[in-house]
Amino acid sequence: MTDPTDNSSVPSRNRKRFPGISTRAWEHPADRSALVALRKLTGFDEVLKKLAGLVSERSVRLMFLATAVRTSERQFPHLYDMVRDAAYILDLEKVPELYVTQDPQPNAMCIGMDTPIIVVTTGLVEMLDEEEMRAVVGHEVGHAMSGHAVYRTMLLILSNIATRIAWLPLGNIAIMAIITALKEWFRKSELSCDRAGLLAGQDLNASMRGLMKLAGGHHLAEMNVDAFIEQAEEYERAGDLRDGVIKLLQVLPQTHPFAAVRVAQLKKWAASEEYRSVLAGAYPRRTDDADASVTDQWKATAESYAKSVKESKDPLMGLIRDITGGAGEVGSKLRDVFTGSRSGGDAAGGEPQGAES
C-alpha cells in the first residue's frame, strides 16, 4: 500500500483516508446500477475484449512508453506523487501508471480494463494548479477503480457495428438506441468520478475551479466559481419548452456532461448527507460488493431520475411532471408553445410554464 508520508506534494491540511472503500460510495445511481449488473456477469470483460478486436493493453502501454513521458520520481515527480496519493486516499493497492502526452488540448483519460493507465495532456498540466490537478488525478483513479473502460469499449464496439450496418434502417436504429443509453451511462460515470476526485482532494473549491477552467481556460483572475454556478442555474431554468427540447438534443450526443452542469452537480453532492457520511467513515465496503443487489441499484436509479425531474427547474422537466401528475391540457400546452403562444412561455418575459418545481 502506498504511504503518502514521503510525498512532497501531499498538502499540509489533513484529509480523510477511506480504507476498504467501495466505488459504490461515489458512483452516481445510474452509473452504479449498470456496473453492479455488469459485475454479476462472470467473464463479461473477457467476452467484451474478444468482441472488440481491439489492440491489446500491452500494445497501448508500449505506445505510450514510446510517445509520452511516464511519471516517476525523476519525471513529473509532483504528478507521480499525486497519483500515489490518490491511490492511498481511495485505498487502491496497485497504483496506475500516469503518462503525460504533448497536446495543447486540456484532457485526461483512463485507458485499459486489466491494467488501467492514466494519461494527461500538457495542456491540462499547464492550465491547472496543484489542488485542481489533484482532483483530476483522483477523478481518473476513480475511473480505474470503477472499471469504466467497459463503457468506452462497448461504445467503440457498437459505434463500429452501427457504421457497418448503416444501410439497415431498423438495425441501425436499434444500435443507436443502445449507444444513446451507453452515452447516458458514460455521462453519469463522469459525475461519479468528479465525486471520486473530490474525495481524493477534499477541496471542493479546487474541484469546481478545475471544471470551470475546462470551460473558460486558465485566466482564473477573470472568472468566479459562484458566478459559474449561477450560470449553471440559469442554463437549467432558461427558456420555455422549446429550449428544454434543444438542451436535451444538445446533450444526447455527448459523452461528458457540460462543465457548468458538472460544477452544479458536484456542489450539490458535496452538500449531501451521502458525502458527509463518507467523510465520517460510514461508506460501503468493497468486501460487500458481491452482495450488492442489482434490483436495489436499479430502484435507486429510478428514484434518482424521479428526484431529478421533481427538483428540476427546466421547463421540459416541468411538462414531464405535469404529465406524470395527470395534469390536463398537455397537448394544448405543447401546441401553444411550439406555435409561439404566450401561454407556453410569456414572450414579454413572464415565467415560462413548468418552470416551478
Where does the pLDDT of residue 7 fall: very low under 50, low under 70, confident under 90, or very high at 90 and above? very low
Q: Residues 183-197: pLDDT tens digits?
A: 888 888 999 999 999
Comparing 112 with 320, the larger pLDDT belongs to: 112
Q: Average pLDDT of 117-141?
A: 97
From 255, 274, 305, 12, select the one nearest 154 (Cα to Cα).
Answer: 255
**140 catalytic residue (yes or no):** yes
Q: Tell the burial category of 295 from Cβ atoms under 10 Å away from its Cβ (0-12, 13-18, 19+).
A: exposed
Task: Determine the pLDDT at residue 305.
Answer: 55
Predicted pLDDT of residue 13:
72
Integer Cα distance of 137 and 131 in angstroms: 10
Residue 167 pLDDT: 59
Query: 159-173, 247-261, 293-307, 329-343: which has the highest mean pLDDT?
Result: 247-261
Residue 347 pLDDT = 40
**Residue 282 vs residues 18, 205, 298, 336: alpha-carbon distances, Å:** 10, 24, 22, 50
pLDDT value of position 174: 67
State residue 302's pLDDT score.
67
Give the residue ranges of DSSP H helices in 40-128.
44-52, 57-67, 77-89, 122-127
Q: Which residue among the candidates 140, 184, 230, 356 is catalytic per the annotation?
A: 140
Q: What per-residue confidence (pLDDT) applies to 26?
A: 95
Which pLDDT score is estimated for 135? 98
Alpha-carbon gap, residue 194 to 202, rounded angstroms: 11
351 pLDDT band, cuts 50/70/90, is: very low
Per-residue pLDDT of 195-252, as tens digits, reads 999 999 999 999 999 999 999 999 999 999 999 999 988 888 766 667 777 777 888 8
Cell of 27: 458512483
What distance in Å separates the CA atoms of residue 245 and residue 261, rounded to the nearest whole number?
17
- pLDDT value at residue 1: 44
* Residue 157 pLDDT level (bands cut at 50, 70, 90): low
- How sure is the predictor about 144, in pLDDT bands with cuts at 50, 70 and 90? very high
Choose the weakest-confidence range: 11-25, 157-171, 187-201, 326-340: 326-340
Residue 231: per-residue pLDDT: 92
Average pLDDT score over the chain = 78
pLDDT attached to residue 186 = 83
Enumerate the β-bridge partners of residue 120: 100, 108
Phi/psi of residue 231, each to 5°?
Answer: -60, -40
Amino acid, single-letter form, for residue 237:
R
Residue 69 — φ and ψ, nearest 5°? -110, 120
